[in-house]
């Protein structure tokens, strides 16, 4: 699949048709789906470069995978919300694994976020960062422990890459929310960072890298003790 293929999963026909037309006019190959089951079939068969999901449930299922099925579990996902959605809805979408959240009525903002995510995934510097027992491969968007590749979600990889950029420094939760999730603000209460850090730690430990992703209680996280 070429680098501009977008899966658009949106149940509301008017919104789906409008976004399909606009995205095609802006040069994207768009594959529309009204239902989650159809969207998963397209994700498995066509391996799109980005997914626009009308419901967080699709994002969660893409990230989790399903027995006997194969798709890119790290594919960038933007979740659409209602124009007047509560901020909690945005946080919950991010916690489901979304890379970004955009109101469904703001097409120009959606277009900018789509292009930014595709740039980030296709034009990332080809570099390897070796930190302790880990190798963070930004070109392949992969973390390895020795010769073992660790299967991570997109956000888990971004978190690992951020921590690896200065492995003994403690990054505050506010910094990580800002730089990894794009959430700005002071005093935001969410378990997003903690849940992702916990999953990242468990996956790395299972691959043989024990004692990494260290929680500095009350402050934040660092990669190495």
Nearest to 76 by CA among 95, 111, 102, 48: 48
In this prediction, residue 188 has a pLDDT band, given cuts at 50, 70 and 90, of low
Band (pLDDT 50/70/90 cuts) for residue 183 is confident
> Which residues pair with residue 31 across a beta bridge?
7
Task: Please write the tens of the pLDDT for every residue from 161-175.
Answer: 999 988 889 999 999
The residue with greater pLDDT, 184 or 159, is 159
- Give CA–CA dist 184/127, Å, rounded: 28
The residue extents of the domains of the chain are 5-122, 128-222
Q: Which helix (H) or strand (E) element contains residue 220?
A: strand 220-222
Query: According to DSSP H, which parts of the chain are helical?
Result: 13-25, 36-46, 56-64, 87-95, 107-122, 154-164, 173-176, 192-206
Whether 149 has a pLDDT exceeding 80, the answer reads: yes
The span from the CA of 30 to the CA of 17, in Å, is 11
CA 64, CA 96: separation in Å to the nearest integer? Answer: 10
Q: Output the CA–CA distances (angstroms, integers) from residue 79 to 20, 150, 204, in the order listed.
A: 15, 26, 28
- pTM, entire model: 0.57
Share of the chain above pLDDT 70, in %: 94
- Does domain 128-222 match CATH 1.20.58.100? no
DSSP 99-120: SEEEETT-HHHHHHHHHHHHHH
Q: Are 43 and 61 in contact (CB under 8 A)?
A: no
Angstrom distance (rounded) from CA 196 to CA 95: 9
User: Furthest-apart CA pair in the chain: how many Å?
Assistant: 53
Among 91-95, 181-185, 201-205, the least confident range: 181-185
Are the beta carbons of 220 and 176 closer than 8 angstroms? Answer: yes
Q: Over the stretch 60-95, which tens digit does the pLDDT of each residue have?
A: 888 888 888 888 888 889 989 888 878 888 888 888
5-122 CATH, one of 3.40.50.2300, 3.40.50.1820, 2.30.130.30, 3.40.640.10: 3.40.50.2300
């Amino acid at each position: 699949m070429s680098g501009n293929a977008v899966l658009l999963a949106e149940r509301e026909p008017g919104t789906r048709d409008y976004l399909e037309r606009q995205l095609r006019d802006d040069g994207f190959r768009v594959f529309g789906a009204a239902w989650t089951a159809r969207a998963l079939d397209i994700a498995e068969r066509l391996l799109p470069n980005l997914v626009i999901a009308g419901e967080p449930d699709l994002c969660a299922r893409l990230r989790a995978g399903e027995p006997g099925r194969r798709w890119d579990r790290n594919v960038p996902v933007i979740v659409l919300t209602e124009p007047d959605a509560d901020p909690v809805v945005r946080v919950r979408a991010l916690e489901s694994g979304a890379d970004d959240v955009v109101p469904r009525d703001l097409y120009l903002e959606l277009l900018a976020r789509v292009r930014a995510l595709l740039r980030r995934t296709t034009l990332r510097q080809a570099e390897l960062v070796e930190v302790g027992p880990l190798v963070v491969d930004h070109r392949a968007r992969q973390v390895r422990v020795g010769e073992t590749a660790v299967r991570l979600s997109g956000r888990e990889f971004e978190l690992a890459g951020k921590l690896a950029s200065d492995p003994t420094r403690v990054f505050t939760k506010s910094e990580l929310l800002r730089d990894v999730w794009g959430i700005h603000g002071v005093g935001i209460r969410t378990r997003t960072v903690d849940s992702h850090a916990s999953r990242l730690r468990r996956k790395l430990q299972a691959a043989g890298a024990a004692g990494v992703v260290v929680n500095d209680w009350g402050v934040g996280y660092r990669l190495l003790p």
